[in-house]
Amino acid sequence: MSRRMSGRMSGRTSSGPSRRTSAPSGRMVRWVAVSLTAILAGALFASCESGPSGPGAWQGSVESVARAFGAAVIEVQGAGIQGFEGEGTTLVFWTATAAPDNYRVVLVSPEGSQTVRFRTRVLDLAAGPPAGTTVEAVTLLNGPVPTVGDFSVRFVH
């Protein structure tokens, strides 16, 4: 008997291809396992990424869209703040207030600018950026700025 004949005798008909019900090949199983491992590892690392931690500094700026200013007084709130430093020619004076984790900071820009930059040193960057608000400001000639509503305080790392 030929193979063709024995196939027909085992119950297969010539009306269509036979269906294979064997287990997937070893290569396919390995490929799926490697792919799933890579996907799970990527998801694990992505969910654990919380940014830098440990001591460091946040880059701060006080910005006014309407006018240049010579100095600004800001209030900064944040856990683990260790101090403030000027960038460039900016002078910084600061003190802790009676409220916990709250600081009054005076930033002086000898040239006058619409943006004054400074650094805030912290114990742990993972605690997140501080928050700040502008209390008052003066012009380069030491005249009062009537409103600080257009001023913003920003922190980035």
Q: Check pLDDT > 60 for residue 122.
A: yes
CB-count burial class (<10 Å; 0-12, 13-18, 19+) for 107: buried
Runs of H (alpha helix) within the chain: 3-9, 26-48
Whole-angstrom distance between the N-terminal and C-terminal Cα of the chain? 81
The Cα–Cα gap between 86 and 125 comes to 19
Single out the residue of 79, 74, 149, 154 nearest to residue 109, CA to CA: 74
The band of 128, judged by pLDDT with boundaries at 50, 70 and 90, is very high
Of the two residues 102 and 28, the one the predictor is more confident about is: 102
Q: How many CA atoms lie within 13 A of 12 on its CB side?
A: 12
Of the two residues 108 and 19, the one the predictor is more confident about is: 108
Q: Check pLDDT > 80 for residue 1.
A: no
pLDDT value, residue 33:
66
Average pLDDT for residues 76-80, to the nearest whole number? 97
Q: What does residue 70 show for φ and ψ, rounded to 5 degrees? A: -100, -30
- Which amino acid belongs to residue 54? G
Q: Check pLDDT > 90 for residue 156.
A: yes
Contact indicator for 156, 59 with CB cutoff of 8 Å? yes
Q: For residue range 19-33, list pLDDT tens digits in order.
A: 666 666 777 767 766
Q: Check pLDDT > 50 for residue 47.
A: no
Q: Rounded to an integer, what is the distance from CA 62 to the centroid of its chain?
A: 20
Q: Check pLDDT > 70 for residue 147.
A: yes
Contact indicator for 109, 118 with CB cutoff of 8 Å? no
Instruction: Pull the structure tokens for residue 36.
Output: 């799933």
Contact indicator for 153, 99 with CB cutoff of 8 Å? no
% of the chain at pLDDT higher than 90: 65
